[in-house]
């Protein structure tokens, strides 16, 4: 029976990888350097990750909370929980990491593909499914494409990170309220009343 892996070693490897990835980038980061900074042997890393790409993809994934919102029967509550779980706490630091992956795309296309396949696309699928379920419930406008609805919230987050603006809890609540106002169910319009007859001077005689 295989012995369980030591969690303290996992944490040391992840911390070392994150530090070296930030300082050196993917291309100049080696498994030897990760082992040295983490204070472990290379075999300890390869027991956990088959290669550098898998290691980096997992470390980046661990910077995000687990995205697994329950079915609450309340679309707004489910989507708000997804916002809380879906966005990184430190927006600039996380976007900086992803920028590093994109910068390596020409030399290491497998890295950004691993990020998309194992992290980005599965998380988008979770959020899209919630939006589609909200549309089936009648909680979200049915004339909005679910992908477009998802981008309408993710886009402002990225834009504010690039602009150096706050993306903390207060902004997220306000942005979500605006998003829900735009995409939520349309408020019933008051019943139209027949126009009042125009008053003419001759009627007063």
In CATH, what number does 75-183 get? 1.10.357.10
Q: Could you tell me the CATH superfamily of domain 7-61?
A: Homeodomain-like (1.10.10.60)
Say whether pLDDT at 24 is over 50.
yes
Q: Which of 103, 104, 69, 108 is nearest to 85 (CA)?
A: 69
What pLDDT sits at residue 27?
83
Q: Report CA-CA distances (Å) from 155 to 56, 150, 152, 165.
A: 25, 9, 6, 14
**Residue range(s) in the chain whose domain bears CATH number 1.10.10.60:** 7-61
Q: How many CA atoms lie within 13 A of 148 on its CB side?
A: 8
**Residue range(s) in the chain whose domain bears CATH number 1.10.357.10:** 75-183
pTM above 0.85, yes or no: no
Confidence of residue 186 (pLDDT cuts 50, 70, 90): low
């Amino acid at each position: 029976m295989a012995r369980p892996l030591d969690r303290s070693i996992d944490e040391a490897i992840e911390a070392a990888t994150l530090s070296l990835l930030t300082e050196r980038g993917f291309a100049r980061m080696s498994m030897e350097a990760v082992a040295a900074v983490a204070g472990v042997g290379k075999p300890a890393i390869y027991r956990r990750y088959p290669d550098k790409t898998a290691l980096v993809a997992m470390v980046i994934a661990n910077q995000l909370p687990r995205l697994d919102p329950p079915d609450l029967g309340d679309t707004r509550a489910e989507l708000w929980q997804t916002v809380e779980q879906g966005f990184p706490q430190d927006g600039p630091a996380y976007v900086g990491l992803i920028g590093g992956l994109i910068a390596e795309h020409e030399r290491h296309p497998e890295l950004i593909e691993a990020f998309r396949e194992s992290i980005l696309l599965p998380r988008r699928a979770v959020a899209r499914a919630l939006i589609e379920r909200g549309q089936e419930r009648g909680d979200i406008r049915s004339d909005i494409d679910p992908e477009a609805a998802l981008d309408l919230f993710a886009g402002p987050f990225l834009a504010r990170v690039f602009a150096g603006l706050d993306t903390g809890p207060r902004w997220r609540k306000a942005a979500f309220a605006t998003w829900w106002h735009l995409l939520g169910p349309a408020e019933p319009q008051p019943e139209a009343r027949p126009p009042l007859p125009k008053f003419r001077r001759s009627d007063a005689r």
